Structure formats: structure tokens, C-alpha cells
Chain A
Amino acid sequence: MFLHLMIVNKSGGLIHHRALSPKAPKISTNEWLRIGSTFASLHAIAAAAASPLNCPNNKNAMGADDGIEEINAAGMILRCLQTRTGIKFVLTAEPNADLNLDAVLREIYVLYTDCALKDPFYELEMPIRCELFTQGIDNLIQRYDKLANNNNNISTGITIGRTGR
């Protein structure tokens, strides 16, 4: 289902990365840093490459700088939420996942504000080392996995129910 979560700060530095499922390919820390900064610059380049179709002031509907919102590739879907402050939340998932990735990203954003930003010891734009944040993400992933399993079971479970007592 989900593959990776990545959070990139305004300057392109990676402040959080984690694999969300065992299917996600293993990526070394250096590789992660490189991916984070590459994505940050490509995010802005995509908006520039779409000129003259730019949004006014280059701000998208949410008031944040316009850039990559979604990438569909052969093996995965990548979805990015850019906040007004320049933080990018990037989530990758398998393509058959029938999820609203945008809603998941928003929940992660809320988790970030609650656990990281409200932590008095957390420095802005620095790597996130908040236990509450990681726990929150764990719970969120568990919840979505359970939801997906329930959906799968519902589609198959009706027949099981009928054959049972």
C-alpha cells in the first residue's frame, strides 16, 4: 500500500524519511538525502516548465508555491503536499491503492503540527526526532492498513458469510 514518507524543508533538506511497508525498497541515508534535494528542485522546475500555464504569482490553490502535486509512474504513485511555509510532505504508494492520498497527507501534516511544531524543543527545518510523531505515523498506517484489509474482506467476506452459519 504505502511505500515511503518523506518530508523536505524549505531549503530542500530532508527532515524526515521512513519506509511505511516492507515492500518499500531499501534506500540508504545518503540516497535519501539526495532524493530529498532532487525532489525539492524538481518540484519547482515542474512549475516553471509548465509556463506559460502558470498560476498567478506561481501560487496554487492553497496559497503555497506551485509545483509537483502528483506523479504517476509505472510502479508507484507519488503525492506531494506543499504547505505555505515551504515544507513538502511526500508520500509514495503502490498504484493499485484505492486511497485518497491527499487526505492521508493532510493527516500527516496535522500530526506534524501537533507533535513536531508544538514540541518546544523542536527546531524548525531540522530533522524531526519526535517520538510522538513517529508513533502517530505508526498509528495512522495501522489504521489505513486495517481499513484496506476490511475493504478487502468485505468484498470477499460476503460470500464467506453466506456459506457459514
Chain B
Amino acid sequence: MTVHSFLIFDRRGKTLFSKRYFQVPGEEEETEAQRSDQQKLIYGMLLSLKELCGTMSPNDDDDDDDDGGGGENNNSNNSNGGSKGDVQLIKTGAATLYNFETVSGLRFVLYTTAETSVGRTASATSVTSPSVLSPTAGAAGTTTTGATGTTTTTGTPILTAATSGMMGATTTTTTTTTLPTGTGGSTNTPLASPPSSNPNLNSGHPWSVVPNTTTIMTHPQITAQIRMSLRHIYEHLWVNLVVRSPLYRPPSTTSSSSTTTTTTTTTTQSLDFLKATNFEVSLDNYLKGMPWFR
């Protein structure tokens, strides 16, 4: 699986931080307005889905609940951890969104491409098995990635191109979206468009898959790992490097109608000082150390 981007939203929907890790080949440069529109879209979707899931989730009124009876219990502890309706994962055919929402309303969002999906009917796989797919793209040179890209089915070329793209990528600032593709750049041409067929029909995969059935459920281990990582990013990286920075200003508690004018100064201030902290560098190092990060 390939991490595509990472975003942090505050309680009001403003994007505090965003970073792209993966360049889709053939993608045109998007404008600032387009990007901000898309971020608002993501935030709005998370907000609406949280409300929707909240109404459809059962109230956890077990007998060990000491709130004294059932009824509306918004703070019940559910089996996935978190309050009722807390959206943790949204999966579409194209990508998967992992969300970690803090009690204060901060949302940490990670977008990955869909290779995290594993057929539930498949035999038990180890979490590190995706690493079997990634050839030594950086080291092996251009020809081998192209060759493996064509022999396996459509799912893997994205991985190989992504790895080759990643090898060449250096850390960028938050605003630029083009990553220098480096040595792997020329091999991106054999890449087909994103998989149009069932991505699980990969002959190279170590796990077997029932063909013609899209029994794609997200692997619970990977989900749990990513969630723990997002929590770690919040608890250790964000809190230590950003909130405890002397330049940090907590979001104002004025009503939302006045935020347009009064908080614009504070918002630009918070975005600027992020560049002065170590947050992005630490985030990059942390994410790249993760086994599921490609």
C-alpha cells in the first residue's frame, strides 16, 4: 500500500497541515484553490459521516455500563474504541482514508491507495507480506521495475512506480505537490492506469484470493497499526513539537461567525510557525519508518 497524503484538520475545519507523499503519474498541477476546495470537501465528508454513523450506531448499554440505564449515551466505549460514531476508516475503490479524531476535535487523516485491502477469505497473512511485492526498485535500476510491472497484473505497477517515485523524493515543503522523481522517473511510463480490474487478482501475491468476488475487507491488523501511528503522531509529534512550541496559539473560542476576520491572523500565524518547528521532519521520519509506508 502507498501512503498518498496526510492532513490535519482543526475543530472548525481549517486545514492545519497537509502533505503529499505520492505523485500520481500523469496528474496535472492543482491550484491552491482546488486543493483548498478538496480539503474542505474531505472535512465536510468526515463531519457528515460522523453524524450519520452516530445515529446508526447502537447505544452500548451493557450491564457493565455505570451510567445508569440506556438511552442516549454519547460517550459509551465501543469495541473499536472511541465515542459513538467516531469514524475511523472510509474505504472507496480508489483509496482508503484513515481518520483519528482527538477529544479536542483535531482530526488526523491519512489517505492511502487501495492496496491495503485483503480478501477476508484469504489465508492468514502476515502484516509484512506486502513487502514481498516491492522489488528493490531503487537499487535494481529501471529495467527490472518495468519488467515486473508488466508481468504481474494491474495491481502492482502502482506499487513499483510508487517505490521508484519514493526513492527519488526528497522532503518537500507543504505547499509543493510535485516530487522530484529522481532515478525512478523514467520508469513511470510503463505504468498502466490505476487498476480497473479486481486488484486482488494478483498472481504474485502470497495470499490466494477467490476470483470474481470482491471480498475486499480492510485488513484489521493494518487498520489497527495505522490508527496507533496516527495516535502516536498526535500524542508525541504534534503535542510535543507544535503545541508545546512557544509560538503556538490555541484556536480562539469566539463563535464561528466571527472567525473569518478575527482568526485569519491567528491562522496564518499558526501555519507559518509550523515550518519553524521540527514537526514536518519528524513526521516524515516517523512515517517512513513504518512498515506499511511505501
Contacts and interface: CB of A to CB of B under 8 A. Distances in A.
A49 B42 contact: yes
Given A46-B45, A73-B85, A100 B90 contact: no
Nearest to B114: A53
B89 interface: yes
B218 A72 contact: yes
B277 interface: no
A31 B111 CA distance: 31
Q: Which of A48, A66, A72, A96 has the most CB of B within 10 A?
A: A72
Given A51-B38, A52-B24, A53-B24, A70 B52 contact: no
B104 interface: no
A102 B95 CA distance: 18
B52 A72 contact: no
A53 B113 contact: yes
B165 to A, nearest CB: 14
Contacts of A35: 52, 55-56
B19 interface: no
28 contacts: A3-B58, A25-B57, A45-B45, A49-B97, A53-B4, A54-B94, A55-B195, A56-B193, A60-B92, A60-B93, A61-B196, A61-B197, A61-B214, A66-B92, A68-B90, A68-B91, A70-B91, A72-B218, A74-B53, A74-B78, A74-B81, A74-B86, A75-B53, A75-B84, A76-B53, A92-B56, A102-B120, A106-B213
B83 interface: yes
A42 B198 CA distance: 23
Interface string A27-52: 10001000100110010011111111
Q: Which of B42, B93, B197, B198 has the most CB of A within 10 A?
A: B93
B27 interface: yes
A38 to B, nearest CB: 6
A126 interface: no
Contacts of A92: 56
A121 to B, nearest CB: 31
B93 A71 contact: no
Nearest to A73: B53
A70 B217 contact: yes
Interface residues of B, number: 58
A100 B4 CA distance: 27
A50 B111 contact: yes
B49 interface: yes
B85 A53 contact: no
B41 A48 contact: yes
B131 to A, nearest CB: 22
Contacts of B53: 71, 73-76, 78
Top 10 A-B pairs ranked by shortest CB distance? Answer: A60-B93, A75-B57, A74-B82, A73-B53, A72-B89, A50-B95, A74-B86, A75-B78, A70-B91, A74-B78
A102 B213 contact: yes
A39 B52 contact: yes
Contacts of A45: 41, 44-45
B93 A78 contact: no
Nearest to A56: B193
Interface in A60-116: 60-62, 66-76, 78, 92, 94-96, 100-103, 106
Given A3-B56, A76-B53, A55 B45 contact: no
B261 to A, nearest CB: 28
Nearest to A60: B93
A162 to B, nearest CB: 27
Contact of A38 (B52, B91, B111, B194): B52
A95 B194 CA distance: 30
B258 interface: no
Contacts of A31: 55
Contacts of B10: none
B80 interface: yes
B85 A75 contact: yes
A47 B41 CA distance: 11
Given A74-B86, A75-B79, 20 more contacts: A46-B90, A50-B97, A52-B24, A53-B24, A53-B94, A53-B111, A55-B196, A66-B92, A66-B94, A70-B89, A70-B217, A71-B49, A71-B90, A72-B223, A73-B53, A74-B80, A75-B85, A92-B56, A95-B78, A100-B121
